[in-house]
A and B are shown apart, each in its own frame.
Chain A
Amino acid sequence: MTWAAVRFLGGLCIAGGVFFSFAAVVAILRFPDVYTRLHGSAKALSGGGILILLGALPFTGSISGALKLLLIALFFAVSNPMASHAIARACRRRDMMKEPRW
């Protein structure tokens, strides 16, 4: 694979990540209930973030930059679902009595 082909793939991954971020924002805006909004945004952003971070790998100029990107991607993949879980559980604990509206 030539270097230009790898950069093209990286560009595709970044474009996919931007599309997923836009989808997450549309989910936050249009869904009716807080649980559905959290579901849409957490899934789309966890995946879209990893896509952007992996797509940025061919564009960095040095090995240390690529290693930093892999470190950010690893931490992000572990921590973002955990944060969304904490928020969802807090919302559920707060209104045990209310029925979620579909």
Chain B
Amino acid sequence: MILAALWGMVISGMIGFVRVILGPSAADRLVAADALSVIFTMVLVLLSLYLETSFLLDVALAFSVLSFADMLLMAKYFEHGELHK
């Protein structure tokens, strides 16, 4: 059952990546990248249930913290054109 949930999330990720390919502006691609990073954090959590090890939850927590930082960085660059403004 966890495997079915994993397949569902990865297929959602692949469909969401179509917007990164298509999106006419960089803003669309940024929105899609935000959604993809959340989806793959959940994929990491489901993988830790599937492989029955609790070390991947550390990886999921670190990735949650850092994808949040990543999105703030890209939003700042998109708004001002430079990171130190």
A→B interface (CB under 8 Å):
11, 14-15, 17-18, 21-22, 24-26, 28-29, 34, 37-38, 41-42, 45, 48-49, 52-53, 56, 59-62, 64-65, 68-69, 71-72, 75-76, 79-80, 82-84, 86-87, 89-91, 93-94
Tell me the complex Cα distance, A12–B53, Å.
22
Among B9, B38, B76, the most chain A Cβ lie within 10 Å of the Cβ of B38
Known contacts A21-B9, A90-B78; is A56 also within 8 Å of B49 by CB?
yes
Tell me the complex Cα distance, A34–B58, Å.
33
B→A interface (CB under 8 Å):
1-2, 5, 8-9, 12-13, 15-16, 18-19, 25, 27-28, 30-32, 34-35, 38-39, 41-42, 45-46, 48-49, 52, 54, 57-58, 60-61, 64-65, 67-68, 71-72, 74-76, 78-79
Tell me the complex Cα distance, A89–B65, Å.
21
How many CB-defined contacts (below 8 Å) exist between A and B? 134
